[in-house]
Amino acid sequence: MENLNTIGVLTSGGDAPGMNACIRAVVRDALDHGMRVMGIHKGYAGLIRGDIFEMHAKSVADIIHRGGTVLYTARCPEFLQTEYQDRAAEICRIFGIDGLVVIGGDGTFRGAQALSDRGINVVGVPATIDGDVSCSEYTIGFDTAVNVAVESISKLRDTSASHERCSIVEVMGRNCGEIALWSGIATGADAIMIPEDKDSQSFDQIVRVIMENRVRGKNHNIIIVAEGVGHSQELAKRVHEATGIDSRYTILGHIQRGGGPTALDIKHASMMGYMAVETLAKGETNRVIAYQKGAYVDLDIDEGLAMKKKPAMDIWQVNLQISTY
């Protein structure tokens, strides 16, 4: 690869706290290398429309602590079609973008693969609150989302305990139970239901745990349900019918994607944004930055996407063990 003159940066998929800190690191490090930096609004949707502007050191001032993404984000279904992928590669050439940093999840990296196939130098940075990027043990936004969930569940605990109720709390994660597992163990939940494991969804077992805990003197219960399992309203009704315990359901929803990032998210975002530019500057392309065994590494995107992530069932087991009265 020849020396890069101009790099582009975009955020794609669901927003995640820490994306701004990552954009800041990308912009500042690229400028340090003497590169021009182009910001692309609204992910691939903005790229195919040429919604692109030049960024300077000051463009990313005062955003390190802010949630959301100053570049905006979008889901862009058209980008699955080769016609739009061709157009995006053409737009990169028109704007002189010879390197592109994409900040998002596995879907975003699939889009990056398509651009790489069309000769664009790309590097992906894992950012999604779900924590479900297959090759990385950490994704930007996860820690903030878990902390927001824990804070909200702790508030529900106060009212649930006062009324001696069972609280069913639905947390985000369509295909991945990571937020449910972490927020569940951090709030002493009686049970955690995740989409990847059918056993965790056993209604009989949940009723048994609730009843055993009540017999032993616990006056309230918390059941965490990942979004991918769903049906929390119906579950609250069924728990009431099966146990006679007054039950309420709460869906935490998009509140988990908001708020300023935690220090952990800012640290990972800054390190991974910096790594992405360094990787491009070294002349590498079609790479994804990953956090593995305490270190930042870069992997081939195809290899990264081929990896499989297993749910942290150790958290589930330990929680079951220690949440029993």
Cβ–Cβ < 8 Å for 225, 168: yes
Which one from 130, 132, 190, 197 is the annotated catalytic residue? 130
| Residues forming the site for ligand F6P (CB under 6 A) | 13-14, 128-130, 172-174, 227, 257
As a whole number of angstroms, the distance between CA 34 and CA 144 comes to 33
The answer to whether 130 is a known catalytic residue is: yes
Task: Tell whether residue 87 is a contact of ligand ADP (CB under 6 A).
Answer: no
Q: For the window 44-83, what string marks contact with ligand ADP as x by the rule CB under 6 A?
A: x------------------------------xx--xx---
Q: Which of 111, 195, 273, 304 binds ligand ADP (CB under 6 A)?
A: 111
Least separation in angstroms between CB 43 and ligand ADP: 6
For ligand F6P, give the closer residue by CB, 247 or 250: 250
Residue 173 interacts with ligand ADP (CB under 6 A): yes or no: no
Helical (H) or strand (E) element with 37? strand 36-40
**Cα–Cα distances in Å, from 232 out to 59, 162, 180, 235?**
43, 21, 13, 5
Q: Residue 127 carries which DSSP code?
A: B
Kindly state the smallest distance separating residue 255's Cβ from ligand F6P, in Å: 11
221 within 8 A of 167, measured Cβ to Cβ: yes
C-alpha span between 38 and 26 (Å, rounded)? 11
- In the complex with ligand ADP, the residue whose CB is nearer, 15 or 190, is 15
In the complex, the smallest distance separating the C-beta of residue 134 from ligand ADP, rounded to whole angstroms, is 10
Helix, strand, coil shares, percent, the chain, to 5: 45, 20, 35
* Residue owning tokens 């297959």: 134
What does the binding site for ligand ADP look like in residue numbers (CB under 6 A)? Answer: 12-14, 44, 75-76, 79-80, 104-108, 110-111, 114, 128
List the catalytic residues. Answer: 130
